[in-house]
């Protein structure tokens, strides 16, 4: 299910606690990649915690690394 790219999702997203959420993404205030699509930063995979996110449960998300692969359809 498509995650809305709104303020409510922005607050719920736990990307900032993720080991792959780097300085570049923090500087650009990038998160909710499952809704907004992939990051413009070049990311090193250090794990993904999307499966622990409340939005993953709410919208039945099955994938990981949305910051690299892009938004959920
Ligand atoms: S999409 Fe996954 S890997 Fe990327 S920052 Fe968010 S939790 Fe981390
Ligand atoms: S599923 Fe991942 S990208 Fe989407 S809001 Fe949660 S932590 Fe962020």
Taking CA atoms only, the protein residue closest to ligand 2 atom 1 is: 50
Instruction: Give pLDDT, residue 17.
Output: 98
Average pLDDT over residues 43-64: 97
Identify the pLDDT of residue 39: 98
Asked if residue 25 has its Cβ within 6 Å of ligand 2, the reply is: no
**pLDDT at residue number 55:** 97
Domain ranges of the chain: 7-69
More confident residue, 1 or 50: 50
CA–centroid distance, residue 15 to ligand 2 (Å): 6
Give the tens place of pLDDT for each residue, 3-49: 999 999 999 999 999 999 999 999 999 999 999 999 999 999 999 99
Contacts 24+ apart (CB under 8 A), 37-46: 37/66, 37/70, 37/71, 38/66, 38/67, 38/68, 38/69, 38/70, 38/71, 39/67, 39/68, 41/67, 43/67, 43/68, 44/20, 45/20, 46/18, 46/19, 46/20
The pLDDT of residue 35: 97
């Amino acid at each position: 299910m498509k995650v809305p790219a709104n303020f409510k999702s922005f607050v719920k997203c736990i990307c900032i606690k993720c080991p792959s959420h780097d300085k570049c993404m923090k500087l650009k205030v990038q998160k909710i990649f499952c809704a907004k699509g992939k990051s413009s930063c070049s990311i090193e995979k250090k794990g993904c915690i999307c499966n622990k996110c409340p939005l993953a449960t709410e919208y039945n998300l099955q994938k990981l690394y949305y910051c690299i692969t892009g938004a959920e359809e």
